[in-house]
Amino acid sequence: MWRVVRPAAALALGLVVFFPFLGPQIYFIHLLAGLFMMVALAQSWNLLGGYTGYLSLGHVTFFGIGAYTSAVCLNDYGISPFLTAPLGGGIAALLALIIGYPSLRLRGPYFSVTTLSLAFLAQVAAFNSTPMGGGYGIQLPSLPLPIRQTETVFYFAFLALAVVVVWWARRMERSRSGLALLAIRNDEDVAEVCGVDVVRAKLKAFVMSAFFPGVVGGIFAYQISYIDPHSAFDIGLSINMLLMAMFGGAGRWAGPIVGAAVVYLLSQTLSFVIPSELNRVVFGIILVLVVFAMPHGIIGFAEAFWTKRAAWLVRRDR
Amino acid sequence: MNVLSFPLLARAVVSGVLFGGIYAAIALGLGLVWGVMRILNIGHAALAILGAYLSLTLVQAGMDPLLSLLVTIPALYLVGVGLQRFVVESMHGRKEAELHTFLILYGIMVAIENLQVFIWSADVRLISTAYSSQNLNFLGLILPVGRVISFVMAAAAVATVYLFLTRTKMGRAVRAIASDREAATLMGISVRRLSRVAFGLGTATAAVAGLSLGLVSSFFPGIQIVWVSKAFLVIVLGGVDNILGLFLAALVLGMAENVIGVVAPAFVVDFVAYVLLIGTLMVRPQGLMRRAGP
């Protein structure tokens, strides 16, 4: 399987790097930048939710924190979001550390509801905080460049982020800590008995899984030039992260890439055809069907297919 | 703050308790399903809001709100039975059954919420009748009739479920399933059939909860996520296997929110609720009124 996938992936990456210089319409640059952002976000969610099975429904909290950090830093101190985005990630990671220590002891739905409430709490806080603009939100100056260059800058920023997060996930998957997470997902009690430091492993995954959305949020705020509590802490984004990772294949580094590509491009196309609320209905139904039919996502489905095919080839040649 | 006279405070307390009835009604079904099946139906409040919309449509067609329950209760009972039959049961035997069931219910929640937006729009609604805006004089306290009806309905739902679980043979069997599934099977209880009944009953109470909510508090599809987290808070505070504790916790929460709302800005109320939820989950995930342990 990898004999086909690896050159295809290299080719795709090469195409993507040169794409903005081929003179496409600005819309397509913007579209792909959005896709890279989604890949980075879905992969970040995957770092915790996919590998450990701790489903966070409030990951948008970390995204929003990053967005507000860079907005405040740019407007009040005049520092470019490209410099302060890691700071937003750091604050998000710190919050994850504080929240994670007690809440990762909670299993199953308890953890999910805690993270969901955290997102509401952050939204309520943003609505009522004067330095953060309250319900009016914050208007940011845009990059002092022509629109095509601006879009290209964000295109590469999100591309770089996506590559870094994917690389991180892939590296982690093949490391000792990745094995620890896998053990936790299979049976946490057994993993603990076998000597896996479960608290440490989960915390590490949660912190990294919160850091990246913080960075992404910081760049996103600069890109759209206006944030308010609704857009920065949009529960729909939490849903999308989960959906994309699950759809592609949670717990596999390639899953969120495939999932984000399919779901994002599908939703962009659907939004031309049907009203946006029906769009969401379709995604709810897709999530249900995915869990029913391919609980390991497209990648898991493909792997199973490939294994069967290989077995069939062996049998035929014998 | 000098306006905080005694009658104002008394009124806040009473109307907060009445409002707490809605929390109780929503938490009732959520707790029943959680207690018996060990499943968190995250779409429960979306079903309650669905009940509210169905009642609203029937009321607009000229039906009395209370009569609309004759339609919405059976409808939501069937939804619950269907969820148990087609979702929960088909996940049995999977390695990660709990995780997958939760994800499916989450997807259904998203679908239901947005289907409501499509059918009824995202506008804010309230179920109003000729009498619900009239006032009732109770020991010198002026109370809107709608609030009182809403509370009585919620309390009746809680009482019905409580009596069902404690006084009927079927209810006892359901409780047996909640405490030990395998032992219940060995005692000759049809676990499969009664699980369907329990899930159906749980969602049927969402119909009552929806009407009781719609008479008092304005609603729109997206508000369901707030209600489900509040209901979850009530369960955590009151305990799942203790319906009276749950009822009490709901009334206390309603009262506390209302009293805080009188003395402090509105956002403090939400803040307190979420901090309370996160804090309780972290410190005592088994609930405040339960003994430590699984």
Asked if the structure places residue B240 within a domain, the reply is no
For A20-36, write each residue's pLDDT tens digit. Answer: 888 888 899 999 999 99
Rounded (10°) CA dihedral B191, B194, B196, B201: -150
Contact (Cβ atoms closer than 8 angstroms) between residue A24 and residue A148: no
pLDDT of A187 reads 86
Q: Which domain range does residue A125 map to?
A: 2-317
Q: With respect to residue B6, please indicate whether it lies within any of the assigned structural domains.
A: no
Distance of alpha carbon B129 from the chain centroid = 23
Give the residue with greater pLDDT, B187 vs A235: B187
pLDDT at B150: 93
Least CA distance to B92: which residue of chain A?
Answer: A292
Judge residue B283's burial from the number of C-beta atoms within 10 Å of its C-beta, 0-12 exposed, 13-18 middle, 19 or more buried. Answer: exposed
Q: Euclidean distance between the first and final Cα of chain A, in Å?
A: 21
Q: What is the pLDDT of residue A287?
A: 87
CB contact under 8 A, B102 and A128: no
Could A284 and B285 be called an inter-chain contact, meaning their C-beta atoms sit closer than 8 Å?
no
Per-residue model confidence (pLDDT) at position B286? 61
Tens digits of residue pLDDT in A100-154:
888 888 777 788 888 888 898 898 888 888 777 777 888 888 888 888 899 999 9
Most confident of A52-61, A79-88, B50-59, B285-294: B50-59
Total domains in the fold of chain A: 1
Q: How far is CA A185 from CA A46, A49, A165, A251, B60, in A?
A: 13, 10, 21, 9, 50
Pairwise CB contact (< 8 Å): A117 & B229: yes
Report yes or no on B113 lying in a domain: yes
Percent of chain B with pLDDT over 90: 56
Residue B84: which of B220, B215, B200, B5 has the closest Cα?
A: B200
CB-CB contact of B25 with B216 (8 Å): no
| pLDDT for A2 | 67
**For residue B275, what is the nearest residue in chain A, using CA coordinates?**
A121
When the pLDDT of each residue in chain B is averaged and rounded to a whole number, the result is 88
In single-letter form, the type of residue at position B246 comes to: L
Token pair for B122: 């995202």
Per the model's pLDDT, the better-predicted residue between A97 and B273 turns out to be A97
**pLDDT the model gives residue A45:** 95
- Per-residue pLDDT at B292: 43
Question: Which pLDDT value is given to residue B118?
Answer: 92
Q: Which of B278, B89, B97, B111 is nearest to A53 (CA)?
A: B97
Query: Do residue B277 and residue A280 have CB atoms under 8 angstroms apart?
Result: no
Task: Report chain B's C-alpha Rg in angstroms.
Answer: 19
More confident call, B268 vs A285: A285
Indicate if the pLDDT at residue B73 is higher than 90: yes
Q: State the CATH number of the domain containing residue A44.
A: 1.10.3470
Contact partners, residue A256, CB within 8 Å, separation at least 6: A39, A42, A43, A45, A46, A50, A166, A169, A244, A245, A248, A250
pLDDT digits (tens, 9 = 90+) for B233-266: 898 888 777 888 899 999 999 998 888 888 888 7
Chain B neighbors of A275, CB-CB under 8 A: 118
DSSP at B219: B
Nearest to A34 by CA among A224, A245, A193: A224
Average pLDDT, rounded, for chain A: 89
Q: What ipTM goes with this model?
A: 0.87
Please state the rounded mean pLDDT for residues B171-189.
92
Q: Which two tokens stand for residue A158?
A: 């999100």
- Is residue B167, in this structure, part of any structural domain at all? yes
Enter the pTM of the model.
0.86
Residue B236 within a domain: no
Nearest-Cα residue of chain B relative to residue A290: B104
Per-residue pLDDT of A170-188, as tens digits, reads 999 889 888 899 888 888 8
Long-range CB contacts for residues A186-190, cutoff 8 Å, separation at least 24: A188/A107
pLDDT of residue A164: 96
Alpha-carbon gap, residue B232 to A108, rounded angstroms: 14
Contacts of B114 in chain A (CB under 8 A): 277-281, 284
Give the structural domain span for B53. 22-222
Report phi then psi at B16, rounded to 5: -65, -40
Return the pLDDT at B294: 36
| A55 close to B (CB below 8 A) | yes
Of B42, B114, B232, the CB nearest to A277: B114
Judged against a pLDDT cut of 70, whether residue B2 lies above it is answered with no
Nearest to A96 by CA among A120, A63, A67: A63
B205, part of any domain: yes
The total number of structural domains in chain B stands at 1
* Count of A-B CB contacts under 8 Å: 119
Q: Tell me the three state secondary structure of residue B73.
A: helix
Asked if A189 is an interface residue toward chain B (Cβ–Cβ < 8 A), one would say no
Q: How many residues does chain B have?
A: 294
Whether the per-residue pLDDT at B1 is higher than 60: the answer is: no
pLDDT for the residue A1: 64
Would residue B129 be called left, alpha or beta, if left means φ above 0 and alpha means ψ between -120 and 50 degrees? beta
Q: What pLDDT shows up at residue A195?
A: 86
Predicted local confidence at residue B33, as pLDDT: 93
pLDDT band at residue B290 using 50, 70 and 90 as cut-offs: low
pLDDT digits (tens, 9 = 90+) for B8-49: 788 889 989 999 999 999 999 999 998 888 888 999 999 999
